[in-house]
Amino acid sequence: MSDRPYTLLSCAMSADGYIDDASPERLRLSSAADFDRVDGVRATCDAILVGAGTVRRDDPKLLLRSPARRERRIARGLPGDLTKVTLTWSGDLDPGSRFFTTGESPKLVYTGSGSVAALADRLGDRAEVVDAGDPVSLPGVLADLAGRGVRRLIVEGGGGIHTRFLTEGLADELQLVVAPFFIGDPAAPRFSGPGVYPQSPARPMRLDSVTRIGDLALLRYLIGGARG
């Protein structure tokens, strides 16, 4: 077992790099065909990770949408759904959010040492709260996931999480869907924020493929010494 899972970042952004608008409603940047493609990618993974910001704002279920894909996983001896994973420093997570209330697979919450006891108390048996250090160590989180048998991890945002994985050099692959419109609102969240990125002009990512999905473009990048 490697010290971390193969880690695939998946994101849809506007042509000007935003992953949502600033309104309270979730903005749909993608199409039905692309949601189905992402579902197919999810089905190849063992765990799915989003940041606590996305749990709070989007309240996603993070389940496989296709019953046929779930059945195929079960036939192969895998759990029907992926292990759900989130990261929080504040511990501000609602036990009633769909991250916790939907699906049968394990739910893991990684948090700072000082928040573990209170959060575990609040979440009860809805999730396992894992001490990820102080400050939280992302390589430590990934090593813990690897130790639990997670070989392939899909990371589905949001911007804060993508920024952490990319700047810490912990992503192997990036699947970036570009929507054919602009948001143009500085109050809206971006795909990635300021930081020192190993994928600099001197050390760019490798563009592995470009796929047209209607008016969307899917860019698949392999990053650094990506592992297969």
Exposed, middle or buried by CB within 10 Å (0-12, 13-18, 19+), for 17? middle
- Cβ 108 to ligand NAP shortest distance, Å: 13
In Å, how far are 70, 72, 191 from 75, measured between CA atoms? 9, 5, 36
How many angstroms separate the CA atoms of 209 and 49, rounded?
24
How many angstroms separate the CA atoms of 105 and 81, rounded?
6
Strand, coil or helix: what is 217?
Answer: strand
Residue 12: in which H helix or E strand, if any? Answer: strand 6-13
- Cβ 181 to ligand NAP shortest distance, Å: 13
Positions touching ligand NAP (CB under 6 A) are: 11-12, 19-20, 26, 29, 50-54, 57-58, 87-90, 92, 136, 138, 156-161, 164, 189
Q: Which is nearer to ligand NAP, 123 or 138 (CB)?
A: 138
- Cβ 74 to ligand NAP shortest distance, Å: 27
How many angstroms separate the CA atoms of 96 and 1, rounded?
34
Taken in order 123, 124, 130, 133, the sign of the CA dihedral is positive
Q: Which is nearer to ligand NAP, 54 or 83 (CB)?
A: 54
- Cβ 88 to ligand NAP shortest distance, Å: 4
Q: Which is nearer to ligand NAP, 83 or 115 (CB)?
A: 115
Q: Which is nearer to ligand NAP, 23 or 74 (CB)?
A: 23
**How does strand 47-51 pair with strand 173-178?**
unpaired
How many angstroms separate the CA atoms of 63 and 69, rounded?
11
- Cβ 76 to ligand NAP shortest distance, Å: 27
- Cβ 126 to ligand NAP shortest distance, Å: 16
Q: Which is nearer to ligand NAP, 26 or 203 (CB)?
A: 26
Write out the two tokens for 152: 């392939």
Q: Which is nearer to ligand NAP, 27 or 150 (CB)?
A: 27
